[in-house]
């Protein structure tokens, strides 16, 4: 549909990446509701989080071009790991040549040089990707049980 290849492993990685993304966005919303006294403040915080997630996902500014003092935010952003998983699983092993930035290169070399995505790190990316929903769900459960904003 958008150039993805139809092998079973690539379809699995695509669904896995999307599932983890849906889970961590859902659990992040639940976490923000549990740590704020009302949903208006949670809405303001969520827009700040989503802005940072999108800015440091590596799509607008690729990881090699992010200043070194901001790379910690790139690694803490779950959307960067989702983008890494999607692009690396689908195109990281393709060796067709393409013309990018006035030079010929392969698709896998372009992903490695421009985005910093390595196909050999795909299992690590998959492991880190599942940690975000688990972390947000655990923090939500902890905060909903221990924080109380009711006044007596």
Domain assignment present for residue 139? The answer is yes
Q: Which residues contact 9 (CB under 8 A, 6 or more apart)?
A: 89
Q: List C-alpha distances in Å: 84 to 58, 63, 67, 137.
A: 9, 10, 19, 22
Q: pLDDT digit string (tens) for 54-94?
A: 999 988 889 889 999 999 999 999 999 999 999 999 888 88
Domains of the chain: total:
1
Domain assignment present for residue 96? The answer is yes
pTM, rounded to two decimals = 0.88
Q: How would residue 148 be classed by pLDDT, with cut points 50, 70 and 90?
A: confident
Domain assignment present for residue 87? The answer is yes
Domain assignment present for residue 152? The answer is no
Domain assignment present for residue 3? The answer is no
More confident residue, 101 or 12: 12
Domain assignment present for residue 151? The answer is no
Work out the angle between the directed axes of helices 39-55 and 78-91 (0-180°, nearest 10). Answer: 40
Mean pLDDT for 99-109 is 84
Going through 26-78 in order, the beta strands assigned E by DSSP cover none
Domain assignment present for residue 62? The answer is yes
- Say whether pLDDT at 1 is over 90: no
Structural domain boundaries enclosing 37: 8-146
- In this prediction, residue 95 carries a pLDDT of 85
């Amino acid at each position: 549909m958008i150039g993805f290849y139809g092998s079973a492993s690539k379809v699995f990685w695509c669904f896995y990446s999307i599932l983890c993304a849906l889970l961590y966005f859902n659990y992040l919303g639940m976490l923000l509701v549990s740590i704020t006294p009302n949903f208006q403040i949670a809405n303001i915080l969520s827009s700040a989080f989503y802005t940072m997630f999108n800015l440091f996902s590596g799509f607008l500014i690729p990881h090699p071009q992010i200043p070194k003092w901001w790379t910690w935010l790139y690694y803490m952003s779950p959307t960067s790991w989702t983008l890494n998983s999607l692009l690396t699983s689908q195109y990281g092993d393709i060796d067709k040549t393409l013309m990018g930035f006035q030079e010929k290169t392969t698709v896998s070399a372009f992903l490695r040089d421009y985005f910093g995505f390595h196909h050999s790190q795909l299992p690590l990316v998959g492991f880190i990707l599942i940690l975000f929903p688990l972390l947000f769900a655990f923090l939500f459960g902890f905060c909903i049980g221990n924080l109380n904003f009711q006044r007596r």
